[in-house]
Structure 1
Amino acid sequence: MSECRNAWPPLVYEDLAPMVGYVNRVVQVAGKYTLDEPFEVGWGNIVLDVTPRGLRTPTLRQRGVTFSVHYRLLDGDVVIESDAGSRAVHLSKGSVATFYRAFCDAAAELGIHRPRTLLICEIPDGAPTFEDDHVERSWDPGAALLMWEALNLTADGLETWQASFLGHRPRVGVMWGGFDLSATRHRVQPTEPPPDRPTFMQNAQLEGYVAVGFSFGAATAPSAGVYAYIWPQPDGLEGRSWGVDGAFWNADAGLVLLPWDKLRESTDPHQAIVAFGDAVYDAAVELAGWPSDLIAPRVDGWYMSRTAPEVVRAQHH
């Protein structure tokens, strides 16, 4: 148990909040470029990949230039890499406004236009745009390392959970607006989004989906952990078992929650994330009519490379 707990570090919201707020803002700068791409159901195309050093945009193609942006949490910089060369912008100290100007200058040297909007999204009680955010911020390497470790460990579990799903499933990654790590499974089921929500949220809910993800928490709910929900939300979620000790249904939030501390206490946190996701999908099948035959055998690639297709089909059915 001690070895397991050391591998999954404790996360204290108050200690991480300044860096989470800083990174959430700066990743939105390059994240805006993903909105130039064709819309994918549930915004699946916009997520940032969790890399060995931090967070990276997908490869982006503008007229005359192909590029990606790598927020290297372990190095304290942002690397813009294109077919014309690369530039680095450091994050050691300064405001979001200062970073934005430096980023746009570096991008322009590579022939990349600045993002089409300055708006900072999904962060309440803050400056409305990058240019208005003059709060001086300091880069905390220790907090950056903890953030990357949490995202990397959780992404590993979510990717394992996602791999067996035969339906549409965007890649696991960080939604740069709300700054949560997300894994979603979609079905062709037109739904009616609530009309009082912002347009981008309504467009995220045009089809049914199951979401499992990770959040560092917020001031109103300062606890990191794994969450899940089913859209549209079915009745009957109260009183269910969610596959892992300590996981529970929070009716007020409309979320199934697995606190980080409870996850760390499990014998195998990686497998606990998979079990948690499976329990949520089981609820979608039983309560919301999701297909039960969209789950393939969960095996590694070496097994599949050596196993006759008829055996795999028999396992699936």
Structure 2
Amino acid sequence: MTNVLPTADPWPALRVADWADTRETLHMWTQIVGKVRLALAPMVNHWWQVAFYVSARGLTTSAIPGRRTFDMEFDFVDHQLRLRTTAGAVETVALEAKPVADFYRETMAALERAGVDVSILARPVEVEVAIPFAEDRTHTAYDPAHAHAFWGQLVQASRVLNEFRSRFIGKVSPVHFFWGGMDMAVTRFSGRTAPVHPGTTPNCPDWVMTEGYSHELSSAGFWPGGDGEGMFYAYAYPEPPGFSDHPVPAGAYSPEWQQFLLPYETVRTAADPDALLLGFLQSTYEAAALHGDWDRAALEDDPARRAGPR
């Protein structure tokens, strides 16, 4: 019998309110693993070294250097945190309903068994209430179907954001998942330095934000929060005059959030989700580049041309 594969991955529906408890628990779990990477990976501009990446099964740290190189992956198919080292060790921690305190203890024990020596600042960042991981028995929920659907959202967001990223030859970040804010982003840079960022992020030192926003940028991504099914967003730092009034065919500027927002559900239910989202990404980038006087001729190029014969 011939296996018939689907022509494309679906854009999954997942209402924020339906998985809020799982989301909050998973946020804390990703912070634990993210802090392991933060503790061992060499510093890269704007904290790029701490982020995760979408994989064919979930979210991965990619290879983390140390006395023994290893990686860690949230597998949202088999629902395991999988740890693998270059020495051949494989350790797993079950992704199931349990307190953050238990997940923290099990994860640190798995690292120790695998021969990974690491110490982390064991409390969350960028959240209003920062319960130390070892004491957190408040966040206990984990619904496998919801976690799998969330990963499906990230698969789609990452795919389109990577296509958008390919159009830029200036300094541009990878498409990566930041566990602090629990969002996926790609960021383009004009090449100029920026005013010192004011900080003010909850439980996050101002100097962290100063490094993250040290250079003029246009950033866009996906956040699985807010209302509905989450939001695609786009903003500029510093925001140039005229940015908020720039015509954007999809989405709208939010004065409260100081960024353009496009509901995930609007994209998911569109006749051509990719085209709608790419239009939003391109137009919001142009809002930053045009009003911020970026050198677009030096920063942009056609990926199809670059892939052709030399």
3-state SS in 2 of match to 1:281: helix
User: Secondary structure of 2:69's partner?
Assistant: strand
Of 232, 238, 241, 2:244 maps to 238
Q: Give the match for residue 258 of structure 2.
A: 254
Relative to structure 1, is the Cα distance of residues 95 and 249 closer, same or farther in structure 2, using a 3 angstrom cutoff? same
Which moved further from structure 2: 251-260 or 37-46? 37-46
> Is the Cα–Cα contact under 8 Å of residues 54 and 176 in structure 2 kept in the other structure?
yes
Give the Å deviation of 1:122. Answer: 1.2
1:15 to 15, 18, 23: 18
For 1:68, give the aligned amino acid. Answer: D
State how 1:1-317 maps to structure 2 within 5 Å.
7-35=10-38, 36-62=40-66, 64-84=67-87, 85-127=89-131, 129-135=132-138, 137-197=140-200, 198-218=206-226, 224-244=230-250, 247-293=251-297, 294-299=299-304, 307-309=308-310
Q: Which letter maps to 1:109? A: R
**Structure 2 CA distance for aligned equivalents of residues 74 and 284 of structure 1:** 38
Letter in 2 for 1:295: E
- What's the CA shift string for 1:121-171, capped at 9, x where partnerless? 1122351x1112112523211101110110001110000000121012221
SS at match of 2:172: coil
- In 1, Cα distance between the equivalents of 2:197 and 2:25? 31
Consecutive unaligned residues in structure 1, runs of 5 or more = 310-317
Q: Deviations for 1:91-138, whole angstroms, at most 9, x for unmatched residues? A: 2221111111111111001111234210211122351x1112112523
**Local SS of the residue matching 1:7:** coil
Contact kept? 2:90, 2:114, Cα under 8 Å: yes
SS at match of 2:157: helix
Contact 1:172 1:182 in 2 (8 A): yes
1:304 Cα deviation from its structure 2 partner: 5.5
| SS of the residue 1:65 aligns to | coil
Q: Which residue is equivalent to 1:313?
A: none
CA contact (8 A) 1:156 1:270 kept: no
Q: Does structure 2 retain, via aligned residues, the 8 Å contact 1:45–1:170?
A: no
Alpha-carbon distance change, 68 to 26 in structure 1, aligned in 2, over 3 angstroms: same
Aligned AA for 1:253? W
Q: CA deviation at 1:292?
A: 1.1
Aligned-partner Cα distance in 2 for 1:238–1:104: 45
- The residue identity in structure 2 corresponding to 1:209 is L
Q: State the AA in 1 paired with 2:234.
A: A
Write the distance in 1 (CA, Å) between the matches of 2:24 and 2:118.
22
Q: Counterpart of 2:222 in 1: which secondary structure?
A: strand
Deviation (angstroms), 1:192: 2.1
Asked whether the 8 Å contact 1:34–1:46 carries over to 2, the reply is yes
Structure 1: how far apart are the matches of 2:95 and 2:263? Answer: 30
Calculate the aligned-residue CA RMSD, in Å: 2.1
Q: How far apart, CA to CA, are the structure 1 residues paired with 2:238 and 2:219?
A: 11
Deviations 1:197-247 (A, max 9, x none): 3221121111111111000114xx565110010111111123322233xx1
SS state at 1:21 partner: helix
* Distance in 1 of aligned mates of 2:273 and 2:142: 29
Residue 13 to residue 136, structure 1, CA distance change in 2 (3 Å): closer
How far apart, in 2, do the equivalents of 1:7 and 1:226 lie?
Answer: 17
In structure 2, list runs of 5 or more residues that go unmatched. 1-5, 201-205
What is the DSSP-based 3-state SS (H/G/I as helix, E as strand, rest coil) of the residue aligned with 1:138? coil
